[in-house]
Amino acid sequence: MAEEFPVVGLDSAAREAVELLAVRRLPGLIVVGAKGEPHSVLPASQVVRFLVPSYVQDDPSLARVIDESLADQVADKLANVTVRRLLPSEPVELPVVNHDDTVLEVAAIMARLRCPLVAVLKDKKIIGAITASRLLELVVTPH
Amino acid sequence: MAEEFPVVGLDSAAREAVELLAVRRLPGLIVVGAKGEPHSVLPASQVVRFLVPSYVQDDPSLARVIDESLADQVADKLANVTVRRLLPSEPVELPVVNHDDTVLEVAAIMARLRCPLVAVLKDKKIIGAITASRLLELVVTPH
């Protein structure tokens, strides 16, 4: 039921994580600690938030009059930065399920926590993930 | 910059919307009103929530002892139901941008509203969408 899902470390290079999100067009990445233990989710929208200057976030109309392109700013912002810096101050919780949980058990946790992604653990190691749309696939398509 | 993105009507059959999420493995769909005007986003995680019985959401451990499979329940729950019924009581706002907005303008709105998806309008009609990961692609990959 679990599928392979990209995982990055808290101390990985931010630039690589962002390229992974971009190239594979993922809504988010799983972030793990030094021992491979699940830590949190890094949503792509959070990375966008990190990259946009705060004065532009406060007043999006400023975006129209700023000359420098976002692409130019991005290179600077991501240089020598780790994934840890990209995370929101209150990291997005990463729910975990066991590799032998049933579809209904996974759905129950997803529904309760309103999360689009759960990590799947076996012997305390992440072996993959289940997205909400993957779960829907399991329940609406004939097996 | 905008990409084609699946759109469903408020009064479309729920079953078809769920199949679209499942088959195309989307994190969500754009929902439009009767005249094609943008209404909201239907996140896949919200559909999971709709499908899981509320007593199981309240106590996920019940999921382990329930015999009936989720797939069996789903067919019943989705029969004769429209997309409108699937939406949360407070629909997820769908931010809109104009087709001629710059990357920085789109990023500013995404960052401010912390949304993973914006609809792109031209002459009041939705011509596509931009996801957060698409936006990252535009700023981190050389053009």
CB distance from A66 to chain B under 8 Å? yes
User: Looking at this protein, which amino acid is placed at residue A77?
Assistant: K
Mutate to test the interface with A, among B68, B137, B140 (most CBs of A within 10 A): B140
Would you say residue B16 lies in a domain? yes
Residue A114: C-alpha distances to residues A44, A57, A109, B45 (Å): 17, 26, 8, 6
Q: Ramachandran region of residue B123, left (φ > 0), alpha (ψ -120 to 50) or beta?
A: left
Residue B132: C-alpha distances to residues A142, B17, B29, B42 (Å): 32, 22, 14, 16
User: Mean pLDDT throughout A91-99?
Assistant: 90
- CB contact under 8 Å between B135 and A102, yes or no, is no
CATH number of residue A86's parent domain: 3.10.580.10
Tens digit of each residue's pLDDT (9 = 90 or more) over B83-98? 999 999 888 888 999 9
- CB contact under 8 Å between B69 and A115, yes or no, is no
Mean pLDDT of chain A: 90
Give the per-residue pLDDT at B142: 63
Would you say residue B2 lies in a domain? no
Helices first, then strands: H and E counts in chain B: 7, 6
pLDDT-above-90 percentage for chain A:
61
Would you say residue B115 lies in a domain? yes
Cβ–Cβ under 8 Å, residues B109 and B132: no
Give the per-residue pLDDT at B46: 94
Q: State the Rg of chain A over Cα.
A: 17
Question: Which chain A residue is nearest to residue B115, measuring alpha carbons?
Answer: A45
Give the per-residue pLDDT at A142: 63
Question: Which chain B residue is nearest to residue A43, measuring alpha carbons?
Answer: B116
Nearest by CB to residue A109, choosing from B60, B62, B78, is B60
Would you say residue A2 lies in a domain? no
Would you say residue A1 lies in a domain? no
- Residue A121: strand pairing partners: A98, A126
- CB contact under 8 Å between A74 and B139, yes or no, is yes
Would you say residue A74 lies in a domain? yes
Would you say residue B56 lies in a domain? yes
CA–CA min distance B99, chain A (Å): 14
Name every chain A residue with its beta carbon within 8 A of the beta carbon of B140: 15, 18-19, 22, 71, 74, 78
Tokens of B37: 């005007």
- Return all residues near B116 (Cβ < 8 A) that are at least 6 apart: A27, A43, A44, A45, B27, B28, B110, B131, B132
What is the domain range of residue B38? Answer: 7-140
Name every chain A residue with its beta carbon within 8 A of the beta carbon of B107: 48, 51-52, 63, 70
- Taking the C-alpha atoms of residue B31 and residue A89, their distance in angstroms, rounded to an integer, is 31
- Taking the C-alpha atoms of residue B141 and residue B136, their distance in angstroms, rounded to an integer, is 8
pLDDT at B143 over 60: no
Question: Which chain A residue is nearest to residue B23, measuring alpha carbons?
Answer: A137
Nearest by CB to residue B136, choosing from A18, A69, A116, is A18
CB distance from A98 to chain B under 8 Å? no
Cβ–Cβ under 8 Å, residues B125 and B7: no
User: Looking at this protein, which amino acid is placed at residue B58?
Assistant: D
Q: Where are the alpha helices (DSSP H) in chain B?
A: 14-23, 44-51, 54-58, 70-78, 83-86, 103-113, 132-140
Residue with more model confidence, B92 or A8: A8
pTM for this prediction: 0.86
Largest CA distance in chain B: 54
User: Looking at this protein, which amino acid is placed at residue B49?
Assistant: R
Strands A28-32 and A38-43, sheet pairing: antiparallel
Cβ–Cβ under 8 Å, residues A28 and A103: no
How many structural domains compose chain B?
Answer: 1
Would you say residue B1 lies in a domain? no
pLDDT band at B52 (very low <50, low <70, confident <90, very high): very high
Lowest mean pLDDT among A61-65, B45-49, B74-78, B85-89: A61-65
CB distance from A102 to chain B under 8 Å? yes
Cβ–Cβ under 8 Å, residues A27 and A42: no
DSSP A3: B
